[in-house]
Chains A and B, each alone.
Chain A
Amino acid sequence: MNTSIVKKLFVLIAAVSILRIISGCGDCPDDPVFFEFNEVSISNLDNSGAWSQVTTSDSMFDEAVSFRVMIDGYFEPVKFQSSFLRNTGYSSCYAFSKCPEILKPLHPITALTIKTLYPINNEIPANSDVSNMFVASESSWGNLYHPLTSHTVSLKDKIYYDFSESFNIYLKSKVLNDKARFIISVRLDNDSIISDTTNIIYIKAGK
């Protein structure tokens, strides 16, 4: 083939690539967008019926102490911008109308600790670590709960589609006190701790 034809072809291909006329089909980019967890908030749950639901009431049955824990995050826009290479040359098209944004926490959750501020019974005084007495569930439905430790492990490599984590926690023990209150602390893998305190819960005897 004539050298000049090769050169012309090369120039044509380069021009088309720079102008991004040709689309290159491919998978969605799997590089995640990182975000930071920065805040914990707690809501009360009414778990008297078949399914738990968020409530504004501060009273709970003695065997139905439960909370919804929400850990909110934020992202830094500078980390969200696309790389230079991804926007150069052949443009990308995907089999999706819009690729989902894969979000990962920069510092994942590594541990959850729960401390009671009031005695739960004669054997569990105030300021005890009661983490092992709670079980967790990602949603308000489902048949069984997960141990809090295994739930925490499952969060380590979790991929998010929004900047927050939320789950429910349920106390296994009966509260033999007229009040209950807990501090819930979330440890991240950079050893930072974010925490929140529940409202004072007024305990009523189960029927």
Chain B
Amino acid sequence: MNTKLLQILIVSLILFPALSVAQDNERFKISFWFGVREIARDSMPDNANLDFMNYVLDTKRRDIEQYAGIGFQYKPFRNWDFELKFTSLSDLDPRQFDLNATRRISPYLRATAGIFTFPVYIEDYFAYHFHTSPGFIGDINSNFRQRIIREWGIKTGVVFALNHKRFNGLLKANAGMASFDRFDESVAQKKNNANLRREFRYATHFAPSLFFNPELEAGFDCFKLGNTIFGAQLKTNLFITRQAINYTRTVYYWTEEAPETQRITNPRHSFLKYDADLGVYCRF
């Protein structure tokens, strides 16, 4: 199913039934923010198999990413709120989202669950074949290789809330499972001064991993116009996991006949994403 259609369906399923039974005390919150993102992951030495995680673009190899986002929070019942956040990197693709449902347990404690996705760039991954295929032209396609892979995850956690006069703060401790989505890649090679051609085709698998995801949100109500409160907010979000990209590799020699197929399990790499942003909100 089209991803955008799926997103609309999820939002509709949650918000529209809730709207129909909305109580008088319903509250909305709309927020905008700009922030920076750091990606870090460890590298491992090349071995007999291509490890795509070695080519995840981290902030050692590129500038810190910047992003903008918009969030909608809706509280249809006294103890429930739903939040949908869209974030866009410099590619202006808004398909990075975070959808959460939160249940208030006490004035200071809440439980939350949700789904999320965010993109990660990998690039130049067939550099591996250049230095592991002596005698061959490593990649006969001279175009630069870069692609976006998306991390998908489900999470649950506890939220500690603190509201004091014009200050409101949330400390979230989330955990869950996440995996990069699947993708296919192929690289064709040719032996130097010879007719031999071969092609490696990679088809990655889902490889779920556990993650820890603490978040901190702090807001300050600046002023009030009618029934609408305007404020400023600071958010930070840390995503820590150990992740691998596993795949099936099929190698063809000369023609598409009699390929060699092998299922490859790569070692897990530590992977960290850190977001920090500043923004404004209004509640009504």
Contact = CB atoms under 8 A, between A and B. Distances in A.
B95 interface: no
A46 B252 CA distance: 23
B195 A171 contact: yes
A206 B190 contact: no
Nearest to B197: A144
Given A50-B190, A135-B255, A172-B195, 14 more contacts: A48-B192, A50-B137, A50-B140, A65-B195, A66-B195, A135-B254, A143-B188, A144-B197, A144-B255, A146-B255, A170-B195, A171-B195, A172-B196, A206-B194
A63 B195 contact: yes
A8 interface: no
A63 B137 contact: no
A95 B140 CA distance: 40
5 contacts: A63-B195, A64-B194, A135-B254, A145-B255, A171-B195
B98 interface: no
B242 to A, nearest CB: 35
A51 B195 CA distance: 10
Interface in B227-260: 252, 254-257
Interface of B: 137, 140, 186, 188, 190-197, 199, 252, 254-257
A61 B256 contact: no
Contacts of A47: 194-195
Residue with the greatest number of chain B CB neighbours at <10 A, chosen from A143, A144, A147? A143
Contacts of A65: 195
Contact of A64 (B195, B255, B257): B195
Contact of A145 (B191, B194, B197): B197
A86 interface: no
Contact of B186 (A135, A143, A147, A171): A143
B189 to A, nearest CB: 9
B194 A143 contact: no
A7 interface: no
Residue with the greatest number of chain A CB neighbours at <10 A, chosen from B137, B195, B196, B255? B195
B135 to A, nearest CB: 9
Contacts of A207: 192-193
A50 to B, nearest CB: 5
A61 B199 contact: no
Given A50-B137, A143-B140, A144-B188, A63 B255 contact: no
Nearest to A151: B255
Contact of A143 (B191, B196, B197, B257): B197
Task: List the 6 closest A-B pairs by CB distance, nearest first.
Answer: A63-B194, A143-B188, A170-B195, A61-B193, A206-B193, A50-B140
Contacts of A171: 195
Contacts of A64: 193-195
Contacts of A147: 255, 257
Interface in A50-108: 50-51, 61, 63-66
Nearest to B194: A63
A61 B255 contact: no
B254 A144 contact: yes
A199 B256 CA distance: 30
Contacts of B252: 144
A171 to B, nearest CB: 6
Contact of B254 (A48, A66, A172, A206): A172
A183 to B, nearest CB: 20
A146 B197 CA distance: 11
Nearest to A137: B197
A117 to B, nearest CB: 20
Contacts of B255: 135, 144-147
Contacts of B188: 143-144
A144 B252 CA distance: 8
B199 A145 contact: no
A51 B137 CA distance: 11
A49 B195 CA distance: 9
Contacts of B193: 48, 61, 63-64, 206-207
Residue with the greatest number of chain A CB neighbours at <10 A, chosen from B190, B193, B256? B193
Contacts of B186: 143
B39 to A, nearest CB: 32
Contacts of A145: 197, 254-255
A52 B65 CA distance: 42
Contact of B199 (A50, A144, A146): A144
B254 A143 contact: no
Given A50-B140, A172-B254, A143 B192 contact: no
Nearest to B191: A63
